[in-house]
Structure 1
Amino acid sequence: MKKLCCSYFWSHFAALICLTGCSVVAPVNPGDSDAQVISKLGRPTARYQDGGQQLLEYRHGPAGQQTYMARIGADGRLMSYEQVLTMQKFGTIRVGEATKADVLRSVGQPAEVSTLTLPQLEVWSYRYKENNVWNSMMHVHFDKSGIVRLLQNGPDPRYEEHDRSSDGGRR
């Protein structure tokens, strides 16, 4: 009986942790050295220079919906650690001004890269969980000179296909 109660408790505790994922404490702390950050999180998927600071990208993908950036100050210490695939972060990308380098520093590497031949735009697509609810994709369109010309949000087709197949193709 005791074993069953413990099992019941831990399964419900795990479910509670999953539901409160937004409040989970980051595995790193402001003030940690860059070596401590890498020791705790592993090798970053990319590094970007941002003035005197460095950004360490931790991408969970390419099909993942989360990318974390660890901002390391000029002193070699962690300043911040945040999930960057959010509407708020996409909102900081300035159409007509931002470059590919700016986008990489803001939201990291895309899940997909494609080209629209008629308007001659390169499109970087990012999978993310919009408002922590909807499986979405943000498409960032660049012109030939590498400047952002359009941000376009929509549902992630990977999940749309699943929805269509589950109802026998009726829609």
Structure 2
Amino acid sequence: MHFPSETVTVNMFKRICAVCTLAILTGCASLMPPAVNVGDSEADLVAKRGRPTNRYTEGNERIYEYMQGPWGQRTYMARIDSTGRVKSFEQVLTNEKFASIEVGKATKDTVLRTIGAPSETSYLSLRDLEVWSYPYKESNVWNSLMHVHFDRAGVVRQMMNGPDPRFDPDERFLFGGFGLR
């Protein structure tokens, strides 16, 4: 036996499922923007990724920075050559890029052009060092923070990484001890 109210309930359920599926697909599309390819024009890059979060220059190249997400674990850098074409496009918050920053030689400008702007800055008064912090996925696995320390002249004096406390359940407010020890 089939009742009219069952038909209404089934149809309503199907509509809700369709709306939820559409919302999920739309969300996924925004998380995965179109690929940027070497040789794309600067206009293609901006059409695919939007306005960059920062712009830098190095010689006759332009560098566009694209910081990603609220947790900031990815930053993409597009290098644009003198002809206005994408020369490279890569995720730069990686072990390899951090290792390319030379302690005692690299400056703030070098760091900005290599890994982009920091997610957070702080100052260590006892050591007189400015610290730029970069959240990233160490080895594409661990939620980590890289801290780049600069002296007053803006030269890198130390780099230090460790776990990102935002992902530590014992440190999160409401999830584990309210951060008290």
Same fold? TM cut 0.5: yes
Comparing 138-147 and 73-82, the one that deviates more: 73-82
Question: Which residue of 158, 162, 165 corresponds with 1:157?
Answer: 165
Q: Which letter maps to 1:33? A: S
CA distance 1:63–1:149, change in 2 (3 Å): same
Matches of 2:77 and 2:143 in 1, distance apart? 21
Matches of 2:171 and 2:151, distance apart in 1: 34
Larger Rg: 2
2:130 aligned to 110, 122, 146, which one?
122
* SS class of match (2:157): strand
Provide the residue aligned with 1:136 in structure 2. 144
TM-score (norm 2): 0.76
- Counterpart code for 1:146: G
The one-letter code matched in structure 2 to 1:70 is A
The answer for unaligned runs of 5 or more in structure 2 is 1-16
User: What's the CA shift for 1:63?
Assistant: 2.6
1:42 aligned to which of 47, 50, 75: 50
Task: Provide the rounded CA distance (Å) in 1 between the counterparts of 2:164 and 2:43.
Answer: 36
- Alignment of 1:94 with 2:115, yes or no, is no
CA deviations on 1:32-68 (whole Å, 9 max, x unpaired) are 1111111111000000101111110000146320000
| Aligned-pair identity (%) | 56
Amino acid at match of 1:81: F
After superposition, where does 1:22-101 map in structure 2 within 5 Å?
Answer: 27-61=35-69, 63-101=71-109
TM-score scaled by length of structure 1 = 0.80
How far did residue 75 of structure 1 move? 1.1
Q: Which residue of 2 aligns with 1:108?
A: 116
Task: Let me know the Cα RMSD of the aligned residues.
Answer: 2.4
From 141, 151, 154, give the equivalent of 1:146.
154
| Structure 1 gap segments, 5+ residues each | 1-6, 19-23
Q: Which residue of 1 aligns with 2:3?
A: none
What are the superposed Cα offsets for residues 87-135 of structure 1, whole Å, 9 maximum, x if unpaired? 1000000000000000000000101000000110000000000011100
- Aligned 8 A contact 2:148 2:160 in 1: yes
Displaced runs of 4+ in structure 1, greater than 6 A?
A: none
1:142 partner letter: F
